[in-house]
Amino acid sequence: MKLRYKPLFVIILLLNVSSVATAAGTSTDHFATSAEVVALTNQARASAGCSALRINEKLTAVAVDHSHDMAVHSTMSHRGSDGSDSALRVTRAKYDWIAYGENVAYGYSTGQQVVDAWMNSPGHRKNILDCSFKEIGVGHAQPGNYWTQMFGSPR
């Protein structure tokens, strides 16, 4: 009997989260796109012998906010419009880290395209395949398809 209710609970939970995101101005397909990026990232990590990354709410908020900031200002950068770098943004989010990393990109319309691009860039690939990272957050914003991956290792 319990198994019958679990899928319904998951669907309701996902619809509820999507509704909240839409109210906050984030696309409802952001969650599916982010899940695709995390899955592809974890596939690459598995082939390198790394553990799968867990999605972290604080890292996700940092990634979403930074992607939105880049889209609003039509600029791709590791530096935010307020002058912040990724270390400051992660710390401001109260993520207690021992290590962090950030990948940014723009112009890629799918999760597959952006992960392929990152995997073909030595510095971005290094972040993805860094086995010391344990958690991830992904952001994607329009217009312009601005992407952020935030990696972290909590204390």
Mean predicted confidence (pLDDT) in 23-43: 75
Please determine, for residue 17, whether its predicted confidence score (pLDDT) is greater than 60.
Answer: no
Question: pLDDT per residue over 107-148, tens digit each?
Answer: 999 999 999 999 999 999 999 999 999 999 999 999 999 999
Per-residue CA distances from 67 to 4, 103, 133, 142, 145 (Å)? 38, 11, 21, 8, 9
pLDDT band of residue 8 (cuts 50, 70, 90) is very low
Chain segment 61-107, per-residue pLDDT in tens: 999 999 999 999 999 999 999 999 999 999 999 999 999 999 999 99
The reported pTM is 0.81
